[in-house]
A and B are shown apart, each in its own frame.
Chain A
Amino acid sequence: MKFILPIILAIATVVLIGVAFVASGTVVGKTVGIEAGSAMYGLTPKASTPDQALTNLLVDVKRRNWDQAYGEISNPQVATKQQFIQAWTGSYGSLRTFSALEGFELRPMHITNDAAQMRVRLHWTTPIGPLEDVRDFHLAKVGDIWKTVWSKTDVPNVPSQVIPVTYLRWDLVSAAGDDEWGAKNIDAPHVRIISMNPLDFAEGAVVLGEVVNEDTIPAFVNVTATLVDGSGKEIDEETSFDKIDHILLPKQVTPYRIDFPKVNLKNVKNVRMNVKATLVPASADPVIGVMNQKVDPDYQGKSVLRGDLLNESGQTVNIPHVIASLYDNNGKVIWVADGYVEHSLLPQTAAPFEIEIPKNMVPKVSNFHVVVNQYSMGRN
């Protein structure tokens, strides 16, 4: 017993650990709080297949084990380690710099004895919610293992220059505290809902349209919609949330969309709209142009509205957010789509964007209007 029981316990322990190890498939579980740490030495599976090689690379990227990840590419000469890291972590305070790779799905496209092409759907967690990214990777067999062939990514390089900016800015001076009658208050900006269209969509209802700032001062806008049934009872109340450009400069128009998940429009008798506008300090810069907009199919056959964002100002825009109103033949807003751009917009440079258009809307779309909302570090 003195030795039999220890042996039994040792074997049982090893077997249990082995079972868990095999069951996990060495895929990393969710790590809360940290991205550091790696598998025990020798436990990283050998990259004997293209799948495994790419998995190893992406697991290391996920854990930010950059030394190991860089070592898993076949052609380190095309990019320095710093460039390799920057390709994954983004730059200039872009959305990618705030993001972390959360998961991935591999799909082989083409495999031969010594080369392979894989398509990967990358799942990123970002401050504004989950984002997906699809990328193709080439892999090559080096000796008896596979390695990822790294393709060089061009990081925008803005030449040194001086861009004169005539700053347009509204500042707000609050009335002194002794103004107890509010006699010196400034009126809230006048904003108006210029269109509203409720419709059923997927498993819920949406209310969408456009709002204009009719005033000569900037407005901070939130649109709220309340659905009311036949008996006058409120069914649900939601706000435009991030489907709107909240800061409207004078005469600026923004689309808005309010989602009501799990509400059937058949039960709705009335929609109460409420637009709340507040006077806020604001800047007229940066000006972002939306160039070459057109509706095209993407590589998966989905219809997307794509184009380029051109930063016409002298300051970097860290996170651009594109919101588009889609109109039918009669000029009625039939959908509001939006999307975040993961690259920052450097001054005087362009970056591509894509917004997916729902399949059933595509035939009806005759025109569109795109506005760009933005987050710039230290200025919002």
Chain B
Amino acid sequence: MRRLCLNCAYGFLALGVAACLMAALAASCSAQNITVPTSAVAGEPASIAITGSGKATLYILGPGISTKQEVNLGEDLKLRGDALKNAGDYHIVACSDSCHSATFYVSAGKPASLTFLVHPSRVPVSQQDAVSGVAFPFDQFHNLVFTPQTINFQLSAGNASLLNRSVNTQAGVAWFRTSSGKSAGALQVVASLNDFNARRVVQQVASDPCNLRITGQRNAQGILVQTEPVHDCSGNPVPDGTIVSFTATAASGKSTVDAPIKKGVARAEMEATGSAVISGASGVVMGNEVRVGGRP
């Protein structure tokens, strides 16, 4: 119990001393006055005035920066532009006999670049709200520009313009969302801000095959089976390389070939001696069935 009491006494003593020190510091700091710029811009010089006389140590603490220098009180202090490259809050602390502090805000400069994200990179045609883009204006020091800027989004496929929309940035961000076009091919997406353009390409690709039709005929090796040109429901040719699965069912068993579409058509040789029923499918899309007679 006695030890506890002693500890309490030491605790109160320490707290009292700390409170006195803080009060003294606050009283001494109020002895000077620092005038900071009301509107500073990243990368541009600014000046600070500190009243008083004699010398002081000046500390500047900002986003990603901290400096210490000796200054003469009563003179304007010029801050170079490269000392204020990062936008954000800056804290100034001047210490001579006592310390004094002030805070000012450095805002981003003029937009100098545009970061533009578009999603997805590849989209099937005729999909609702499938394409979206987000643009961020930045100044020359990569500070996000929060002051509202007007960004123009243009979407075009071939020579046709699909979208032309101007959007003001909110909190440094502008965005759009739109549907994919009806034709396969490259969708050019451009975001413009003043003289700055950012260009992205979204590949519009055919949707699932539609109305898959196959034909088959017997030849010397067996049965040559092939599709008609494969298109999606919008009439776009399905890309080469897409797999069409042919299945031939005959008395000798079942034969399957996964054949890629080449030049719009998938083609395969099937081995079947007797008559066979042949079907085709691509992914989960089924095609027609054809019956090929046996070898005469």
Residue A287 CB within 8 A of the other chain: yes
Residue A242 CB within 8 A of the other chain: no
CB–CB A181/B115 < 8 A: yes
Name the one of B241, B245, B253, B282 contacting A168, with C-beta atoms under 8 angstroms.
B241
Which of A73-81, A93-101, A183-191 contacts its partner? Answer: A183-191
- Per the 8 Å Cβ criterion, residues 270-291 of B in contact with A are 270-272, 282-285
Chain B residue with the shortest CB-CB distance to A289? B257
A172, chain B: closest CB distance, angstroms: 13
- How would residues 289 to 312 of chain A score, 1 for a CB under 8 Å from any chain B CB and 0 otherwise? 111111000000000000110101
Q: Answer whether A250 and B242 are a contact pair too, CB < 8 Å, given A181-B115, A289-B270.
A: yes
> Please, which residues of chain A bring their CB within 8 A of the CB of B244?
251
> Please, which residues of chain A bring their CB within 8 A of the CB of B116?
183
Which of A7-15, A147-155, A215-223 contacts its partner? Answer: A215-223
> Please, which residues of chain B bring their CB within 8 A of the CB of A312?
257, 268-269
Chain A residues with a Cβ closer than 8 Å to the other chain, count: 42
Q: Answer whether A287 and B253 are a contact pair too, CB < 8 Å, given A217-B122, A251-B282, A308-B271.
A: no
Q: Answer whether A294 and B268 are a contact pair too, CB < 8 Å, given A217-B122, A250-B241.
A: no
CB–CB B258/A371 < 8 A: yes
Chain B residue with the shortest CB-CB distance to A170? B241
Residue A116 CB within 8 A of the other chain: no
Name the one of A213, A251, A294 contacting B253, with C-beta atoms under 8 angstroms.
A294
- How would residues 171 to 198 of chain A score, 1 for a CB under 8 Å from any chain B CB and 0 otherwise? 0000000000111111100000010000
CB–CB A251/B283 < 8 A: yes
A347, chain B: closest CB distance, angstroms: 13
CB–CB A287/B268 < 8 A: yes
Chain A residue with the shortest CB-CB distance to B285? A251
Residue B92 CB within 8 A of the other chain: no
Residue A252 CB within 8 A of the other chain: yes
CB–CB B239/A250 < 8 A: yes
Chain B residue with the shortest CB-CB distance to A287? B259
CB–CB A287/B241 < 8 A: no
CB–CB B120/A212 < 8 A: no
CB–CB A214/B120 < 8 A: no
Q: Answer whether A249 and B243 are a contact pair too, CB < 8 Å, given A212-B283, A287-B260, A307-B253.
A: yes
CB–CB A185/B259 < 8 A: no
- How would residues 235 to 273 of chain B score, 1 for a CB under 8 Å from any chain A CB and 0 otherwise? 000011111110000001111111110110000111110
Name the one of B122, B209, B243, B263 contacting A186, with C-beta atoms under 8 angstroms.
B122
CB–CB A249/B242 < 8 A: yes
A345, chain B: closest CB distance, angstroms: 14
24 pairs of residues in contact across A and B, judged by CB atoms under 8 Å? A168-B260, A183-B117, A187-B121, A216-B241, A249-B241, A249-B243, A250-B241, A251-B209, A251-B243, A252-B283, A284-B241, A284-B262, A287-B260, A287-B268, A289-B255, A289-B256, A289-B269, A290-B255, A291-B253, A291-B271, A292-B255, A310-B271, A350-B271, A368-B254
Contacts from A to B (Cβ < 8 Å): 166, 168, 170, 181-187, 194, 212-218, 249-253, 284, 287-294, 307-308, 310, 312, 350, 368-372
Beyond contacts A249-B242, A289-B268: 17 other A-B pairs, Cβ-Cβ < 8 A, are A183-B116, A183-B117, A184-B200, A187-B120, A216-B242, A249-B243, A250-B239, A252-B243, A252-B258, A289-B256, A289-B257, A290-B255, A290-B257, A291-B272, A312-B269, A350-B271, A368-B254
